[in-house]
Chain A
Amino acid sequence: MRLLRTLLCVAAFLASASHAQDARKEIQRYQQMIADGSPVELFELGGEELWKKPQGPKQVSLEKCDLGKGPGVIKGAYAALPRYFKDADRVMDLEARLVHCMETLQGRSRAEATKAVFGNQDTPSEMEYLSAYVAGHSRGAKMAPGLSHPKEKEAFELGRALFFHRAGAWDFSCASCHGEEGKRIRMQDLPVLSKPEFARPVVATWPAYRVSNSQFKTMQWRINDCYRQMRMPEPKFVSDATIALNLYLAGTGKGETYRGPGTKR
């Protein structure tokens, strides 16, 4: 695939700047068409199987997992995440909560449950399948992450501070790329994620299938891969920092109707 990508990288297509507007429209049409023909449902299907499959020392499924709407309630659960969970005394996003359920319900060790959280095109991870399944059950629900509990407020503020915090070998913050309107990286439009009008369509379409590498990707992965490109060390999976950033984005984009899992370039 890398070779094909490299070949595609050198393929230029815009004859002149005057065509930029048409090009944008055509790219939107492309995005619409790939969304219509997306294999995203295959991942939802795979996730349903894993959700119902008895696993771990206790050989139980995740069907009793409480994602915030009560044990076993999946409908609308993703749209209300991240949020504070009293039983864990912590703000959690979907993936953090799934790990929690794997530990408490299935008796699995944290190390085992998180040993391969980011899959590849040949072996998507359990986390990716489950995210697709759970998020799919929020289609049509309004995004309403937890923003009222003191720990939720604290996490939101930490997320904001992280968003603007410059560090790493290249001095980047999230805002270095996502801070100014109307900018692109290569041909890719960059949403200003600190502004609701830009954050809303983004949070309403993650997690997502990426056609460029045929992989289903979660929000934890999205944050991880941004930090990789920012030349930072790696954020630990479902650490407070990643959840805070996730809540900052979800909170900034709240109110949008969830229409994911999305399909991206």
Chain B
Amino acid sequence: MNPLRRTVLGALALLLAKPFAALAAWNEKAFGAKSAADALKNLGTGSTEASSGLVIEAPQIAENGAVVPIEITSNIPGTTSIAVLIEKNPFPLAAKFDFKDGALPFLKLNVKMGETSDVRVVATAGGKHYAATKEIKVTIGGCGG
């Protein structure tokens, strides 16, 4: 296990001990899952089918993993939620957005990536779940010191 993973795990364990439910809804189990599959299961979106109606716009190479811009558009009619997962992050689930009447299923966000990884996006529409993935390579430039 790499040190990043270990420290994040330790800190999350501490965090999960706090009475989080007192605040707003936050799916501890899904965000605490260590694999994309577990996270999706905890979101209730376990089985997905691939869809070309789900478009991920992102650079193939991110110069810096601290800020990786991703733009997501769902052209699937009736999309009510979009979840973003970074497969190789210690905790893959990065965010989940619920769209109500009045919002379009579109979003742009910046995520952190610990290493080169697939980014998986899962959209829910009419009770079904659709997925799309895109690999983003991560490097860092500049002087080492």
**Chain A residues proximal to chain B, CB less than 8 Å:** 1, 3-5, 7-9, 11-13, 22-23, 26-27, 29-31, 33-34, 36-37, 184-188, 211-214, 229, 265
Contact B115 A187 (CB under 8 A): no
By secondary structure, the B interface counts as: loop
Contact B4 A34 (CB under 8 A): no
Which B residues, 57 to 92, have Cβ-Cβ distances below 8 Å to chain A?
58-67, 69, 71
Chain B residues within an 8 Å CB radius of A31: 63
Whole-angstrom CA separation of A261 from B58 in the bound complex: 23
Chain A residues within an 8 Å CB radius of B143: 185-186, 229
Contact A29 B142 (CB under 8 A): no
Chain A residues within an 8 Å CB radius of B3: 3
Chain A CB within 8 A of B145 CB: yes
Whole-angstrom CA separation of A156 from B140 in the bound complex: 34
Whole-angstrom CA separation of A213 from B142 in the bound complex: 13
13 pairs, CB–CB < 8 Å, chain A vs chain B: A4-B65, A8-B115, A13-B116, A30-B59, A30-B62, A34-B69, A36-B69, A37-B108, A187-B63, A187-B140, A187-B141, A211-B64, A229-B143
Given contacts A29-B59, A187-B142, 11 further A-B contacts (CB under 8 A): A3-B4, A11-B65, A27-B63, A34-B67, A186-B140, A187-B141, A212-B140, A212-B142, A214-B67, A265-B141, A265-B142
Whole-angstrom CA separation of A187 from B64 in the bound complex: 11
Contact B4 A27 (CB under 8 A): no
Q: Given A8-B64, A36-B69, does the pair A188, B141 have CB atoms closer than 8 Å?
A: yes
Contact A11 B139 (CB under 8 A): yes
Whole-angstrom CA separation of A186 from B145 in the bound complex: 12
Contact A265 B64 (CB under 8 A): yes
Chain B residues within an 8 Å CB radius of A3: 3-4, 7
Which B residues, 101 to 145, have Cβ-Cβ distances below 8 Å to chain A?
108-110, 112, 114-116, 137-145
Chain B residues within an 8 Å CB radius of A211: 64, 66-67
Q: Given A7-B115, A26-B60, does the pair A12, B139 have CB atoms closer than 8 Å?
A: yes
Whole-angstrom CA separation of A30 from B59 in the bound complex: 5
Q: Which 5 A-B pairs have the closest CB atoms?
A: A30-B59, A211-B67, A188-B141, A187-B141, A33-B69
A198 to chain B, nearest CB (A): 17
Whole-angstrom CA separation of A27 from B109 in the bound complex: 18
Partner of B65, one of A8, A22, A187, A229: A8
Q: Given A27-B59, A34-B110, does the pair A212, B66 have CB atoms closer than 8 Å?
A: yes
Partner of B59, one of A5, A33, A185, A213: A33
Interface 1/0 per residue, B25-51 and A, CB below 8 Å? 000000000000000000000000000
Chain A residues within an 8 Å CB radius of B65: 4, 8, 11
Contact B64 A212 (CB under 8 A): yes
Partner of B139, one of A4, A13, A185, A229: A13
Whole-angstrom CA separation of A1 from B8 in the bound complex: 12
Chain A residues within an 8 Å CB radius of B145: 229
Q: Given A187-B63, A265-B63, does the pair A11, B116 have CB atoms closer than 8 Å?
A: yes
